[in-house]
Amino acid sequence: MIPNALIRALVLLALGLVSAHAEVRLHNLFTDHMVLQQGTTVPVWGWADDGEKVTVEFAGQKASTTARGGRWLVKLKNLEPGRPGVLKVSGQREGQSTVAQVNDVVVGEVWVASGQSNMEWSLAKSFNSTNDIAVSANPNIRLFTVPKLKLNAPTNNVNSKWVECGPTTVPGFSAVAYYFARDLQKALGVPVGVLHTSWGGSPAEVWIREDLMAADEDYQRDILNKYRNDLAKLPAQITAWEKRRDAAKVAGTRFMERQPSLWKPAELYNGMIANIIPYAVNGAIWYQGESNAGRAWQYRRLFADMIKNWRRDWDRDFTFLEVQLAPYDRVNGRMQRTLEEITAQPEPSTWAELREAQLLATKNLKKVGMAVITDVGDKDDIHPTKKEPVGARLALLARKITYGEKMVADGPSLSGAKFSSGKATLSFENVGGGLEARGGPLTGFAIAGTNQVFTWATATIESGKIIVSHPAVPQPVAVRYGWSDFPVVNLFNKQGLPATPFRTDDWKMVTKPEQKEFKQ
């Protein structure tokens, strides 16, 4: 007879063995209501005990693997849109099995939406959005918000879940991302899912891998080393700020100065991008640049390198659609200026230089598009609340670049300039049904001679081209359009899309460093 004590020990041992067997787990991107990308390879991954056989079943496909290092990954292929389904994951080890199930899974198009505050800007705070929120219920639009997280090293999971779009889920979601998804879903007729991952005020370098910047001489010097130097100065700056704050409190005066802080390079890539890779996506929309305007020359390379970084890490040459900076009068700490003061004479502009850097990305990289929004800015607010046209223009670009629709999706952009007989003759592409000036004569054109002094010019549309001149500049050599923090411009094509600001010259920029030539 087996002693009772031994029986109890065997039972406890058995229970211990059972509890030691961890349940198969899915990454938190795989939740009820999720959208899986159609027509491509779709990774599905999670965690399980080493050596555990894991099987994923969905839409008639079955894929199996064995967990290694506590992690597993399988790939589904060429999924097609259809009725919502169930994704089933089962684990099998030593005669024991566990099952995880994800319900209401649809197949369609998946996009990432990222950037700083203008991408983060919620639908609830946007212009005339009350009715849009009220009628937003659509089971074919799914939303996923990546929580804000700064990390020194990449993480591999995310604490969030997919939700169906509707009046209770969309008000706090990115307005630009919602309007983009709404228009895209209507045009394509398939489910659309958006992974929203943005943070107000963030500069581009926090969305890039640190090792990539460390391997580049310019980035090492101008971003990583600069951060370390600034970090050493930060405690003294905070102490000085606290003294000013306390003095204001004693004096009973209002104190609105923000506490000094720093963005650490790569920290949002680590906390908010690495943890959603390699979820299958078909593209990204990006609204950022305000925080890099003072370093626009650097942004020419930095922005393109960020796009290449994401594409390489996702192992997908996906479409990347950006929003060009909206008009905004930065006034450099002065009182808000009137429109007459802003347009008194052409001025140097770091924001114009940043817009040019954004434009260059569309020319230097494949499958990069840019939504121009010179007509929806707010002179005195860095956050223009009219987000619907922004999302709509991004959706047009996606339909053309990603989905191959033959349509006009861009506003006019400069294709050539000739100078003779005291005038400049400008040619354009993306003219659609033709060029037009909205609301009166053309505005925003400036002309200069070899002295590099710009003067507001007269511009007219003649036979599909624009003729620019000014009697004070008898021998012009350069034209700029919309070259201002707050451009007052009105050149469109007949499809209602505004022209991008441009310059014909290559004269030195405000943000170009004095040090050795920055690589392009």
- For the CA atoms of the chain, what is the radius of gyration? 27
pLDDT digits (tens, 9 = 90+) for 303-331: 999 999 999 999 999 999 999 999 999 76
Tell me how far apart the alpha carbons of residues 211 and 333 are, in angstroms, rounded to a whole number.
36
* Mean pLDDT for the chain overall: 93
Whose CA is closest to 56, among 99, 96, 94?
99
- Per-residue pLDDT, averaged over 441-451, amounts to 97
Q: How far is CA 480 from CA 397, 462, 468, in A?
A: 25, 18, 10
Tell me how far apart the alpha carbons of residues 460 and 425 are, in angstroms, rounded to a whole number.
10
Report CA torsion sign: 40, 44, 50, 53. Answer: negative
Tell me how far apart the alpha carbons of residues 168 and 133 are, in angstroms, rounded to a whole number.
8
Q: Count CB atoms within 10 A of the CB of residue 87.
A: 22
* H-only helix segments in 201-271: 210-214, 217-219, 226-251, 267-268
Q: How many helices (H) and strands (E) does the chain have?
A: 12, 24
pLDDT digits (tens, 9 = 90+) for 82-116: 999 999 999 988 778 889 999 999 999 999 999 99
Whose CA is closest to 303, among 356, 260, 250, 361?
361
List of residues 6+ apart from 230 with CB closer than 8 A: 262
Q: Which residue has the tokens 């990069």?
A: 368
Per the confidence metrics, is the pTM higher than 0.85? yes
Q: What is the pLDDT of residue 514?
A: 80
3-state helix, strand and coil shares in percent for the chain, rounded to the nearest 5: 30, 30, 40
pLDDT digits (tens, 9 = 90+) for 2-37: 444 443 444 333 333 333 456 899 999 999 999 999
